[in-house]
Structure 1
Amino acid sequence: MEVSKNTVLIILLVFIHCTGFAQSENSMTNSSIRIPLKKGKKPSTLYEKLIIEPTNLFIQSKPIKNNSPHVQLELNVVENSTKYNTFLWYYEESSGNKKVNYPKAYQNYSFSLEMNKKKVNLVVEKLDFEKTMFIDVGQTAVIGNLEILFKDCIRESSEDINGNQTDAFNSYNVLLAENGEHKTVSFISLDKLVDKELIIEWKNYKILILEDSEKALKLIVNNSLQQKR
């Protein structure tokens, strides 16, 4: 039995529509994809092995509360049976400075917002060295052969001889791995350090911790071998 080209095309279009994947408006290259966003929920997008679900986009030009996001996106990323949920937000401080909590790292991908003339895009790219990223607690970032797991954050405190709390701080555990080798690094809140910064050196990698919180770490990774090329 012969099937016409028109019949095959119709079946393909129906399949794409039924799965809920939106591709036509997206801008894709070999290493990234830009997904236009609108207020509310947007259909899922299939990118490589990821199902990207921009669950809800919230925009307010004049936030009611201080430090309230001007733009916030709830994002779900599904890979096989694993689901990653996070929020990307952006706001302008009273001083005019802009503050964001992205690019968010998940496996070997980064997720960020791009805003231009009131248009908002979700940008998905491959992680790379010498680029700032945020890793949510419990998540792993993969750059080349290096895996960085933000294992956990523990709230701790110190007391005086009378049992009164004198200080409170966070204690972090990060697991590094490459080709079967592992190393666990522990450190405390950056504001408790004398230099207010932390550099983790392992093998040919140098990891600079830029910001810390219970929910995410902001960092940048340098590879000395890559820099010599």
Structure 2
Amino acid sequence: AYDTGWNVPHALEDEEILELIARFAQSAVRAERAGFDFAELHAAHGYLIFQFLSPLSNQRTDRWGGSLENRMRFAVEIARAVRKAAPSMMLGARLSVKEWVEGGFDVEDAIEVARALKAEGIAYICCSSGGNSPLQQVPPGPGYQVHLAEAVRKGAGIPTRAVGLIDDPSQAEAIVAGGRADMVALARAFLADPRWGWRAAAAFGEEIHPAPQLARSVTTMRHWMKAAG
């Protein structure tokens, strides 16, 4: 984040930008060698790629700033380099679709970026929101970012993942079944309940098959419960 009176960060030189693009590609190669099936570019939440995308943080006047085409150049070049370096891996991107502040990155911009990334081989967009501005007004609530995933899905013709306060199995199912997104992702729900996946499956009538090694603890647990009265 940033605010009035804070130190102005170093503006990357052209050669530094190209070096960073190369490093993204090198990271993808290492991930591929390690056996990962896919990688996801983090172009959200005020991290470096999003700093280039946002007209609020990107004040450059060279080929990396100004128009949306220039501001998305860093993201597009990274996607192209990673796709070339690790062609066998699926590649997605997490994108802040809306910055929630006047004059900031917005849905229409995100759709154009998603189209450009799709052309470079990006398989899906994980649609989040928010950036660096202290003035952003985020309206939290159940599924508050789902409409962003829906807009990008329809506008860019690319599969999307919906995120943000999705914690009920029926809610998650409705998002996908209703065609608003192709996937959903949860974080806080799993932090609060590591067995959320089991409970969600049970809610839809699926039979749960715990790992066999967990059965060893059942007898001991019953003993403790009996001893506790």
Q: TM-score range by the shorter chain?
A: under 0.3
Q: Which structure carries more strand by proportion?
A: 1
| TM-score, structure 2 as length reference | 0.28
The one of the two structures with greater contact order (alpha-carbon pairs below 8 A, sep at least 6) is 2
